Amino acid sequence: MEIWFSESTANIIFPIIGGGLGILFGLYGTFGGIFAPKGKFKRLILSAAIAFIAIGAIMLITGLFALISKQPYHVWYPFILTGGIILPILVPNYFILKKRFSKIEVGKAEPESR
């Protein structure tokens, strides 16, 4: 078994990745919280959610593969942690935002049908 990367590399790279993703998701949440109730930027917000969910799934699968491959803790743990945080938060968030956009679209369509 060849170790994918050293512990010192993991200690440098993953805090940067984690902090960067945290900032990115914070901006996404702010953007969605401001514009979803207004019905704006639907495609951008929902597409970003799908992209972030894909990132989370890739991270989780990579971590599980590393764990099964008997990689050391410093290799598999950051991947599983990141994917394990992203997926349970963003999957429900996606459906909540999608439902909110649908309600707004129905509300806009009702006055036109009268």
CA 114 vs. chain centroid, Å, equals 40
Across the range 8-21, mean pLDDT stands at 93
Across the range 24-33, mean pLDDT stands at 93
CB atoms within 10 A of CB 82: 22
- Cα→Cα distances 74→35, 41, 44, Å: 39, 39, 35
Q: Specify if 6 maps to a domain.
A: no
Q: Specify if 111 maps to a domain.
A: no
pTM comes to 0.84
**Spatial distance between the Cα atoms of 114 and 105, rounded to a whole number of angstroms:** 15
Question: What confidence score (pLDDT) does residue 114 get?
Answer: 55
Question: What confidence score (pLDDT) does residue 87 get?
Answer: 96
113 Cβ partners below 8 Å, 6+ apart?
none
Q: What is the mean pLDDT of the chain?
A: 92
Domain containing residue 72: 20-104
The number of domains in the chain is 1
98 Cβ partners below 8 Å, 6+ apart?
46
Across the range 81-86, mean pLDDT stands at 95
